[in-house]
Amino acid sequence: MKRRSLSVPWRQRVALPPSGSPPSCLPLEPSCSAAWSPGAPVETQHEEQPRPLGSNQCLRPDSCFTSLEERYGPDIAGAAFVLKQGGAVKFQDQEWIRPNKHGRFSLKFLKFQNVPVEAVDASGCAINYHGLRSLLPLKELRSLWLRHCPHVDDWCLSRLHPLAGSLQELSLAGCPHISERGLACLHHLQSLCWLDISDLPAVSNPGLTRILVEEMLPSCQVLGADWTQGLRLGPEQQPRDTASPSPA
């Protein structure tokens, strides 16, 4: 198959599928701009040889989430969004799909009709309040990792309540803008059984917050700050200091 160079103007790249294209590649609308380059094969194990994709196989940036959703359904659209952001996605009974270091990923998940997304790892991605809209229709999402996301804040947490039916694992470790006020609205997520709230610099009292979150979600295992953090040592545990007088 002829490989196209990037110096070719985009209008020429958006052409009809060459006759030798395999039937598994699905042609998309010809009007889309080639802002993304079609993904090089991902370094995961496949049974079949990963095929280089034709020139018309490109996905528009996330502003066309709605058209992807209409065409392929919410799961595939959400997965495309996450992958474009640089995150990883796991469909049910499938392997993790991650972009490689150049940001490219295989488009074979477009074939996964009616397979729900069960895990999303958007750690380190620039996902924000508006971007979370793509994750909310994932009705069977079990695990969501938002570690070290710079734009995830209390407003974003208040948006997670549609995932209450399925979400079991949530990790918010290291997000700089999450405070205890946003954690208060996690009580909607009644199916949650594992929550990671460690290393949240904006939380004013990490030990006390962890206790309150554990009380709020009784059936959930909460990983977070040590609850003794912020407590003063008792007199018998004070380090022996010959300079100061010991209490009577």
Largest CA distance in the chain: 92
Contact status: 13 vs another protein (CB under 8 A): no
Q: Supply the DSSP symbol for 115.
A: P
Measured CA to CA, the distance from residue 226 to residue 220 in angstroms comes to 16
Q: Determine, following the binding rule CB under 8 A, whether residue 227 of this chain makes contact with another protein.
A: no
Tell me, by CB under 8 A, how many residues bind another protein. Answer: 24
User: Buried b vs exposed e over 84-109: b needs ≥16 C-beta within 10 Å?
Assistant: bbbbbbbbeeeeebbbeeeebbbbbb
Stretch that binds another protein, among 52-60, 74-82, 116-124, 153-161 (CB under 8 A): 153-161
| Of 173 and 212, CB closest to another protein | 212
- Does residue 169 bind another protein (CB under 8 A)? no
Binding mask 107-146 for another protein (x = CB under 8 A): ----------------------x-----------------
Q: Cβ distance 125 to 153 under 8 Å? A: no
Per-residue binder mask for another protein (CB under 8 A), 179-198, x = binder: xxxxxxx-xx----------
Sole binder of another protein in the list 34, 117, 157, 222 (CB under 8 A): 157
Does 172 bind another protein (CB under 8 A)? Our answer is no
Pairing state between β 88-91 and 96-97:
antiparallel
For 119, residues 6+ apart whose C-beta sits below 8 A from its C-beta are 89, 90, 96, 141, 142, 143, 144, 145
**Which residues of the chain form contacts with another protein (CB under 8 A)?**
129, 154-155, 157-159, 161, 179-185, 187-188, 204-205, 208-209, 212-213, 215-216
